[in-house]
């Protein structure tokens, strides 16, 4: 397999219509936005369309990077797939950035033959193919950086998700602020994973309760976020720690971002909300399985991410987590506030 040389700057600058494809969940989408920012800066004045799914449509529409958002990027019926490929062909895009890089998007590319548009992605035969043999062993952010370089877009530093635009876009709406939920002063987000998964893959409920109790003793508010599967652990923390805020299932995605942006820290399992918190700039501590390539799974963000790994995540001690929060100044700053 050949890794094609990087495209020249002139090849990627003279375009007017750009399609970006990203069909993953919220975490993958936030990572892709870091690449989209650089793509947008390269193609100044071009019209950008995003092909995505309903899961990320609303967030994409709020972002400053896309003129049009199409959320039907993963059709299942053959007829619908054919119609989607025909629509892409009819749009006559000057450049397509396939940030999904899956077998599905490969099929889309093949469906556009024999004269596909210029295409950046991990597909042999694409005009701007990214075929580095080691790409499968790279963190998604590094893979995206390599793909941009192969498309002639220089990456001067590490790619990092960034949601700093959201507060301005939504005019710092009161519902994005902590006091909307009755949170005052410093707080730490707890982002557990529901107990329905293998016990070795998540930190147990009793340890989240213990950590919440310790956080509260230092005068910091534990705030629990999660979906329906986390209701049990959220209720357990609220029962044992009266000062904790159990917000499981209550905030929408934008409110979760607002809470993460102002949090002193976020502690939790490898869940999508951890990627959201990191992208929002919260300092994070994430529990990762050492048996599942933690180097590829860790979230990234400007606030920094501490990785606690173990073959059995449930074995990670509460003392070690509390010590990390103390060393990062979470409790000291609360005491002097």
Q: Which residue has the tokens 């210029």?
A: 118
190/260 same-domain check: yes
Greatest CA span in the chain, whole angstroms? 67
**pLDDT confidence bin for 1, thresholds 50/70/90:** very low
* pLDDT on residue 175: 94
Q: Is the pLDDT of residue 292 over 90?
A: no
* pLDDT on residue 332: 77
297/253 same-domain check: yes
| Rounded Cα gap, residues 22 and 144, in angstroms | 12
* pLDDT on residue 3: 38
Query: pLDDT digits over 187-203, tens only?
Result: 999 999 987 667 678 99
Query: pLDDT digits over 216-227, tens only?
Result: 999 999 999 999
Q: Is the pLDDT of residue 124 over 50?
A: yes
**Contact, 208 vs 192, CB < 8 A?**
yes
Q: Is residue 183 part of a domain?
A: yes
Q: Which of 99, 126, 159 is the last residue of a domain?
A: 159
Burial call 243-281: b when 16+ CB within 10 Å, e when fewer: ebbbbbeebebbbbbbbbbbbbbbbbbbbbbbbbbbbbb
Q: Is the pLDDT of residue 12 over 90?
A: no
Taking residues 143-149, what's their average pLDDT? 96
Taking residues 43-68, what's their average pLDDT? 96
* pLDDT on residue 157: 84
H/E segment holding residue 136:
none
208/145 same-domain check: no
Q: Is the pLDDT of residue 186 over 60?
A: yes
285/253 same-domain check: yes
* pLDDT on residue 325: 97
199/324 same-domain check: yes
Tell the burial category of 135 from Cβ atoms under 10 Å away from its Cβ (0-12, 13-18, 19+). middle
Q: Which domain holds residue 75?
A: 9-159
38/144 same-domain check: yes
3-state secondary structure of 16: coil
pLDDT mean across residues, the chain: 92
| Rounded Cα gap, residues 161 and 28, in angstroms | 10
Q: Is residue 228 part of a domain?
A: yes
Nearest Cα residue to 61 out of 141, 171, 166? 166
* pLDDT on residue 190: 98
* pLDDT on residue 13: 53
Tally of structural domains, the chain: 2
**Structure letter (DSSP) for residue 132:** -
pTM: 0.91
| Residue 54, token pair as written in the block | 């309903």
**Contact, 23 vs 51, CB < 8 A?**
yes
Q: Is residue 89 part of a domain?
A: yes
């Amino acid at each position: 397999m050949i890794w094609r040389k990087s495209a020249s700057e002139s090849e990627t600058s003279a375009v007017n219509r750009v399609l970006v494809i990203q069909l993953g969940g919220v975490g993958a989408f936030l990572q892709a936005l870091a690449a989209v920012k650089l793509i947008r800066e390269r193609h100044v004045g071009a019209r950008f369309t995003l092909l995505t799914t309903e899961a990320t449509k609303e967030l994409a529409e709020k972002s400053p990077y896309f003129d049009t958002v199409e959320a039907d990027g993963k059709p299942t019926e053959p007829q619908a797939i054919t119609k989607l490929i025909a629509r892409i062909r009819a749009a006559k895009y000057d450049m397509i950035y396939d940030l999904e890089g899956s077998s599905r998007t490969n099929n889309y590319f093949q469906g556009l033959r024999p004269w596909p548009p210029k295409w950046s992605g991990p597909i042999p035969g694409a005009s701007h193919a990214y075929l580095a043999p080691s790409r499968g062993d790279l963190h998604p952010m590094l893979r995206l950086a390599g793909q941009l370089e192969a498309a002639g877009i220089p990456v001067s530093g590490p790619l990092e998700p960034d949601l700093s635009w959201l507060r301005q876009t939504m005019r710092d709406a009161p519902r994005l602020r902590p006091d909307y939920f009755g949170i005052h002063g410093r707080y730490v987000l707890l982002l557990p994973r529901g107990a329905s998964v293998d016990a070795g893959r998540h930190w147990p409920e009793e340890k989240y309760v213990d950590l919440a109790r310790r956080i509260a003793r230092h005068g910091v508010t534990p705030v629990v976020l999660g979906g329906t599967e986390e209701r049990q652990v959220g209720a357990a923390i609220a029962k044992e720690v009266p000062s904790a805020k159990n917000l499981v299932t209550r905030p929408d995605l934008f409110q979760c971002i607002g809470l993460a942006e102002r949090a002193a820290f976020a502690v939790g399992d490898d869940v999508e909300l951890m990627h959201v918190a990191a992208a929002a700039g919260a300092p994070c501590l994430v529990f990762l399985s050492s048996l599942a390539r933690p180097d590829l799974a860790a979230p990234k963000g400007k606030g920094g991410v501490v990785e606690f790994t173990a073959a059995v995540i449930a074995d990670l001690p509460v003392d070690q987590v509390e010590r990390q929060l103390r060393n990062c100044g979470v409790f000291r700053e609360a005491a002097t506030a």
